Structure 1
Amino acid sequence: MDLSLTVLGCATPYPSTDNPCSGYLVSHGDTRVWMDAGTGTLGPLQRHTRLEDLDAIWISHLHADHSADLLTAYYALLFADVSRPPVTLYGPPGIADRLAGFLTNGPVRSPIEDAFAITELHDGHRATVGSLRLTTAAVEHGIPAFGVRIEAENRSLTYSGDTAACPSLVELARGTDVLLCEAESAEKTPDMAHHTPEDAGETASQAGAGRLVVTHVGRFLSPQEAVARASARYAGQVGYAAPGTTFTVG
C-alpha cells in the first residue's frame, strides 16, 4: 500500500482564488488523516474522501490559516447529512475551548465534543491511527505549535507545521522519506517564526531527508523561487506543494 500526501491547499495567510490555506490529506490503505484544516480546505478534501471516512484530524496550531475549517466541519458533522461518531481530533492545548468560544451563540456551550473526540497534543505525543503511527514534537512558532512524523510500513512523512528552524524539527525529521516544510519568510528577521526557503533546505539537509517539499510559501515569493533557494542548501529532490498534487512517500 502507498503512503501518500495530497495537498488540499498551502496559501498563507488567506486563500487565493485557486489555493486554499494549509491542509493535507495523508492516506495509507483505508486510513485517512486530515492534517491541518486551514481556510477553504474542507471543499477539496471531499474530492478525495468523505467526512464519514476520516479516521482523524491533526492540527499543528491554532492560527486560522491552519484550523478555521474545523468550524464548518463542526456544522457538517452535527447538522447536515454526515452520519458518524465524533471524529478523533488531535490539536494544541485549548483547542476545544477555542472552538466553543467561536461556535457558542447563547448561554449553553456548543457541543464541541459531540462532533470531535479531542486529544490535546504535547511534545513527544504518540498515537496510532489505523495503519499510521503519529509522533508529535513541539516546534518554535511563538504559540503552542507542533510538527508531526507519520509512519507506515517503514516509510515516513514529516510535516513541519509553522515554525522557525529549530533542532526539534531536525530530530523529528531524521532520516524521513519526505519532509513537508514551510518556507513562508522571504528573508531573515530577528523574531523569526517561519522558515526561509534556505532554512527549509538546511533543515532537510541536517535531517538527512530523502526528499523536500516546500509549502506555505509566502506571498512575497514565487513557488519557483522558493524551490530554487531551498535547492541551494539541499542536494536532494525539492518539490512544491501545489494544490491538488499527490505525492507518494518512499
Structure 2
Amino acid sequence: MIWHSPTVLLTILGCSGSLPGPDGPASGYLVEADGYRLGLELGNGVLASLQAHCDPFSLDALLFSHLHPDHCADFTTLAVMRRYHTHPPHDTTERKLPVHAPSEAPRRFARAYAENAEELRTADLSDVFEFHALGAEPFRVGPFEITAARVDHPGEAYGFRIATENAALAFTGDSGPCAALGTLAHGVDVLLSEATWTHADDRPPGTHLSGVQAGDLAAAAGAGRLLLTHVAPWTDPEAVLAEARGRYAGPVELARQGHKYAVDEPVVRVIGGHGN
C-alpha cells in the first residue's frame, strides 16, 4: 500500500514507564509536520532509538514535560554529540537547538553533564542549546502551537497540547488525575496518555494514571483516539489496555516502540516501524 504523507506524524521512540524496559527505552517521541521535527522527551536509551529514525542534528526543537531521568536522561548524551561530533552538518554554536522545558532545566542539565566542580561553574550548555522556560502562555514552534499546563506529579511537571491547523495531539506527561489534563485533551484527535499501572485504591495520589483513569480521561475529553504509553516494566500491559477499553468506547491501543502514527487519520494507522 502507498501511504500519503500525513500532516502530523507521531513516532514512538520509547514508551517504557519509570525506567527502560528489557526491550526498549524509557519515554521519548518524535512529532513531525511540514518537515519540522519536534523531539518530545529524551529518556534513558531514547537517543539510540532516535538515530534509527533520523539524524539528531535534524531536530528543530526539544520539549520536556518534567525532569525525571526516564524523561530526560539522554539530554547529556545529546550535548556530547552537539559539542564534540567531528563532522556536524552545521555549526551547533550558531544554530543552537531550542529547548522548551521546566525552569530548572539549564541548571539541572548542567549538573548532570559536568565532570567536576570547576566545569559545573562554567558548563551551562548554552553554547549549543537555547533554553526556554515553560509557562502558562501558548507558544509556537514551527507549525505547532503548544499549550503547556501544570499537572499532578512531583516537581515542576507539565502536560501538553500540540496542535496544527489540521490536527491536535495531547500528551499527559506523568500525572495523576487533574483538571488540567481534561482541558489539554478536550476534543483532540489523539490522546497520548501515560498508564503506568493497573487500577487500585491504594495507589499513591498525585503520581500516575491507571488504565481506568486514562480511559476515563479520554472519554470525558471526547478524544478521537487513545494511545497508552509509560506502562511500567512490572505492569501487565494487556491488563492496562483492558482497563482503558472498559472505560472508553473509542479506538485505544498500546503505543509501540518504533511505530509511527498518523495523528490526523480517522483511525490509528501504523505508517511503519517495528514493535516490541
- Smaller-chain TM-score bracket: over 0.9
Does residue 1:161 correspond to 2:181, yes or no? no
Deviation at 1:203, TM superposition (A): 0.5
Does residue 1:178 correspond to 2:190, yes or no? yes
Tell me what 2:155 maps to: 143
| Alignment length (residue pairs) | 249
* Mapped partners of 1:190, 1:17: distance in 2: 25
* Mapped partners of 1:200, 1:61: distance in 2: 19
Tell me what 1:69 maps to: 74
Q: Is the 8 A contact 1:132 1:150 kept in 2?
A: yes
Deviation at 1:43, TM superposition (A): 1.1
Deviation at 1:46, TM superposition (A): 1.6
Tell me what 2:64 maps to: 59
* Mapped partners of 1:47, 1:130: distance in 2: 23
TM-score by length of 1: 0.95
Partner SS state of residue 113, structure 1 = coil
* Mapped partners of 2:232, 2:137: distance in 1: 29
The change in CA–CA distance for 1:238 and 1:127 in structure 2 (over 3 A counts) is same
Partner SS state of residue 143, structure 1 = coil
Tell me what 1:34 maps to: 39
* Mapped partners of 1:30, 1:87: distance in 2: 16
Residue number among 13, 17, 39 corresponding to 1:8 in the alignment: 13
* Mapped partners of 1:243, 1:18: distance in 2: 9
* Mapped partners of 2:183, 2:165: distance in 1: 20
* Mapped partners of 1:40, 1:235: distance in 2: 34
Tell me which structure has the larger Cα radius of gyration: 2
TM-score by length of 2: 0.87
Contiguous gaps of at least 5 residues in structure 2: 1-5, 265-276
How is 1:71-220 mapped onto 2 (pairs within 5 angstroms)? 71-80=76-85, 81-82=87-88, 83=90, 84=92, 85-104=95-114, 105-107=116-118, 108-122=121-135, 124-186=136-198, 187-188=200-201, 189-220=203-234
Q: Structure 1 stretches (4+) deviating beyond 4 angstroms?
A: none
Tell me what 2:271 maps to: none
The amino acid that maps onto 2:127 is D
Q: Is the 8 A contact 1:140 1:164 kept in 2?
A: yes
Partner SS state of residue 21, structure 2 = coil
Deviation at 1:132, TM superposition (A): 1.4
Partner SS state of residue 65, structure 1 = helix
* Mapped partners of 1:36, 1:213: distance in 2: 16
Partner SS state of residue 21, structure 1 = coil
The amino acid that maps onto 2:66 is H
Q: Is the 8 A contact 1:24 1:34 kept in 2?
A: yes
The amino acid that maps onto 1:231 is R
Deviation at 1:190, TM superposition (A): 4.4
Does residue 1:21 correspond to 2:35, yes or no? no
* Mapped partners of 1:181, 1:238: distance in 2: 11
Deviation at 1:64, TM superposition (A): 0.1
Contiguous gaps of at least 5 residues in structure 1: none
Deviation at 1:129, TM superposition (A): 1.3
Tell me what 1:244 maps to: 258
Output the aligned Cα RMSD: 1.3
CA offsets per residue over residues 4-40 of structure 1, 9 Å max, x none?
1100011122212321000000011210011000000
